[in-house]
Structure 1
Amino acid sequence: MKNIIENIEFSTEKANVFPIKKSDDIKYFAVALGKGAVLKKHIAPVPATLVVLKGEINFLIENEEIKLKQFDVYEIPVNVEHEVVGLTEENLFSVAQEL
């Protein structure tokens, strides 16, 4: 058994990633951000679903700012640059990528 919250740190400096599962079909991981921490600009090369587990984040994509809160689900567009910013002290979201 794994416990995400016991194995991840909410840093204001950088994103912290906790791997949940990886197979030939899926890559599933959790990301923790402290307040103001940024998951720097990147693209999702495959279909991905983000679920906010704790806190609130700003999802910045194509000059748009989407505020996501606990339990919100967002389908991340493929091959579109985006970044994520933590808004509260402890922000945790999971991402499932279809490989």
Structure 2
Amino acid sequence: MNILKNMAFHNDRPSVCAIKRTDKINYFAIGLIHDQFLKKHTVKDPSLLTVLQGEIEFLINGGTIILKEFDTYEIPVRVEHEVKGLKTRNIFTIIQEK
């Protein structure tokens, strides 16, 4: 599977591309255009974010973390956060352990 070819960017909402789902993991990609947000939410399972293309702002605990291509970040469980796309097209993957 080619994530970029399967990613359909939308002006009105983040794009999501399922990669793999098993009883142990959920692996998916999210695409954001410039200044688009993935709304505030929490994760219930340990999750690892990896930026594949572009640059994102990860807003958490009143602070901002800038993540660039190939950066990874372990998302804390049950901590509210949101994500903003900074470049024209931004793609990151999430692997969630169940």
Task: Say whether the fold is shared (TM-score over 0.5).
Answer: yes
Residues 37-68 of structure 1 show CA distances to partners (whole Å, capped at 9, x for unaligned) of: 11001101010000000000000001011000
Cross-structure match for 1:83: 82
Q: Secondary structure at the match of 1:93?
A: strand
1:5 aligns with 2:41: no
1:14 aligns with 2:13: yes
**Identical positions, percent:** 49
TM-superposed CA distance for 1:13, in Å, is: 2.7
* CA-atom RMSD in angstroms: 0.8
Cross-structure match for 1:95: 94
Stretches of structure 2 lacking an aligned partner (at least 5 in a row): none
Stretches of structure 1 lacking an aligned partner (at least 5 in a row): none
Cross-structure match for 2:26: 27
Cross-structure match for 2:49: 50
After TM superposition, what 4+ stretches of structure 1 lie above 2 angstroms from structure 2? 9-13
Aligned residues: 98
TM-superposed CA distance for 1:93, in Å, is: 0.2
Cross-structure match for 2:38: 39
